[in-house]
Amino acid sequence: MKLSTTQRANSLEARDVAHILHPYTNAVVHEAEGPLVLAGGDGIHVIDRDGNRYIEGLSGLFCASLGFSESRLVEAAHRQMQTLPFYHSFGGRSHETAIELSERLIALAPVPMSKVFFANSGSEANDTAIKLVWYYHNAIGKPQKKKIISRQRAYHGVTVASASLTGLPYTHKAFDLPLPGILHTDCPSFYHHGLPGETVEAFATRCAESLEALILREGPDTVGAFFAEPLMASGGCIVPPPTYYAKIQAVLRKYDILLIADEVICGFGRLGTMFGTEAFGLEPDMMAMAKQLSAAYQPISALMVNEKIYAAVRDQSGAIGTFGHGFTYGGHPVATAVALETLKIYEERDIVGHVRDIAPGFQSALRALADHPLVGDVRGMGLIGALEVTSDKATKTPFDPSLGVAAHVGKRALAHGVITRAMGDMVHLCPPLIITAAQVSDLVARIGAALDDTLTWVEQGRPKA
């Protein structure tokens, strides 16, 4: 939104520019253009303060699974605020909604899990998992087994440690990251990294061999864990080859390396299964989750740990005198009450079944955009997908980053009433899980129109947006 002199002096937009440092935002551009100020929500739509309605094509940030007007979650928060508006879980304190939520999560776990640790964000859950990798190996007498392997293009958060796991350059540049001891292996994207004439199966084998080579170079007795999003979301909606995880897990077992599944985006129905772990046959030692755990109505995350991890933590805390880690608002009564109600809604309305019904049409509609001159690749699974724009389909040559072609697609999508996320060469889509077939068609048609607009813009030599 371009701001006039008067608007700059008096508007909400101007006050925002004057006072807020926005995450994942170019501050120079933001000062010039200002924010989009939202005022309300209705189902899969959000509404700006001028009354314009937008399909929220990214579920906020991959999180608003039940849309923006689910009254049961509002009521759950209100009830809890009236009874116990806050308490912590330090020193053995607890409350009913945290206890019941932990029971439900353990029951839902696709592999045996023992305990749940509550935090406030996916970054905190993954940061906790890193600390537990180190704590665990100290507890079992392997203090050298501390290095952690993530992947290029991975996204695991923005704390100092979780951002180190993240394998995207913009999370490291000028932050002096990653931390020592956090390593990155190959991204399992066949589109980007498959060799000429190489089969998908051979590519998966090569990824596993590359991981093993890295472990051997570092020394297996120094490598403690491997982090993986089942489907790599923010890095470009990377769907690993079918045999990739079987091969990777064989390497991890061979060298006694823990597996942590980052379910922050994949968890709670996004891929047509309750967890991405199920979709890809993972057998993790820990599972991090957030976002759709509360349908984004309250900040909450959780880390589930198996009995092997818990037993070592228990014994070590006994030896030290405490488990010296936790967050003031971890397991907050209002957040756990809302998360609990969210899980009840998922079950009662069979949200996972709905995703399985809707997903084929969503993926088919997205893939129809692969014929567009700007689209080099379309990727996705369940109700998440991404379009990769390219200047040459045959050679997969990207546009010059300075052109901001994907960003322009995002701007035109907004003009057509869709909020998405465009970063680098990618245009991401991740609609609320409650989306209908008719709404899917509407959403993708609007994205198609945004692509057409952008093609004209490119062909005309980037006229003013």
pLDDT tens column, 182-204: 999 999 999 999 999 999 999 99
Give residue 465's pLDDT band: very low, low, confident or very high (50, 70, 90): very low
Q: Of 6-15, 42-51, 220-229, 445-454, give the lowest mean pLDDT range.
A: 6-15
Helix (H) or strand (E) holding 379, with range, is: strand 375-381
Backbone angles phi, psi at 224, to 5 degrees: -100, -30
The span from the CA of 224 to the CA of 136, in Å, is 9
Look up tokens 């304190």; give the residue: 93
Q: What is the pLDDT of residue 9?
A: 61
The domains spanning 36-69+351-459 and 72-348 adopt the same CATH topology: no
Distance of CA 224 to the CA centre of its chain: 23
The span from the CA of 354 to the CA of 272, in Å, is 8
Q: Taking 90 as the threshold, does the pLDDT of residue 242 lie above it?
A: yes
Give residue 36's pLDDT band: very low, low, confident or very high (50, 70, 90): very high
Distance of CA 133 to the CA centre of its chain: 21
Bridge partners, residue 388, by sequence:
377, 426
The span from the CA of 250 to the CA of 226, in Å, is 12
| % of the chain exceeding 90 in pLDDT | 94
The set of long-range contacts for 248-256, using a CB threshold of 8 Å and a minimum separation of 24, is 248/207, 248/208, 248/211, 249/282, 249/283, 250/208, 251/208, 251/211, 251/212, 251/215, 252/226, 254/212, 255/212, 255/215, 255/220, 255/223, 256/220
Q: Mean per-residue pLDDT for 248-275?
A: 98
Q: What is the pLDDT of residue 10?
A: 78
Type of residue found at 453: D
For the question of whether the overall pTM of this predicted structure is more than 0.85, the answer is yes
Domain ranges of the chain: 36-69+351-459, 72-348
pLDDT tens column, 57-111: 999 999 999 999 999 999 999 999 999 999 999 999 999 999 999 999 999 999 9
E-assigned strand segments in 5-95: 38-42, 45-48, 53-56
pLDDT tens column, 387-417: 999 999 999 999 998 899 999 999 999 999 9
Reference 275, options 111, 110, 431; nearest CA is: 110
For residue 213, give every residue at least 6 positions away whose Cβ sits within 8 Å of its Cβ, in sequence order, or none. Answer: none
Residue 59 token pair: 């579920």
Q: What is the mean pLDDT of the chain?
A: 95
Q: H-type helices in 240-399, by residue range?
A: 244-254, 276-280, 307-320, 333-348, 351-368
Between the CA of residue 296 and those of 40, 299, 313, 424, what are the distances in Å?
15, 7, 30, 25
User: Any idea which fold 36-69+351-459 has?
Assistant: Aspartate Aminotransferase, domain 1 (3.90.1150)
Give residue 2's pLDDT band: very low, low, confident or very high (50, 70, 90): low
Give residue 1's pLDDT band: very low, low, confident or very high (50, 70, 90): very low
Burial track 308-342 (b if 16+ CB lie within 10 A, e otherwise): ebbbbbeeeeeeeeeeeebbebbbbbbbbbbbbbb
Q: Mean per-residue pLDDT for 129-149?
A: 98
Q: Beta 45-48 vs 38-42: how paired, if at all?
A: antiparallel
Q: Mean per-residue pLDDT for 354-370?
A: 98
Q: Mean per-residue pLDDT for 321-334?
A: 97
Q: Taking 70 as the threshold, does the pLDDT of residue 281 lie above it?
A: yes
- Hey, is 190 helix, strand or coil? helix
Q: Mean per-residue pLDDT for 240-254?
A: 98
Q: Taking 50 as the threshold, does the pLDDT of residue 158 lie above it?
A: yes
Q: What is the pLDDT of residue 461?
A: 83
Give residue 6's pLDDT band: very low, low, confident or very high (50, 70, 90): low
Q: Mean per-residue pLDDT for 242-262?
A: 98
For residue 87, give every residue at least 6 positions away whose Cβ sits within 8 Å of its Cβ, in sequence order, or none. Answer: 93, 95, 333
Type of residue found at 197: G
Architecture of domain 72-348: 3-Layer(aba) Sandwich (3.40)
| Count of beta carbons in the 10 Å neighbourhood of residue 345 | 18
The span from the CA of 317 to the CA of 323, in Å, is 5
Q: Taking 60 as the threshold, does the pLDDT of residue 180 lie above it?
A: yes
Bridge partners, residue 116, by sequence:
304
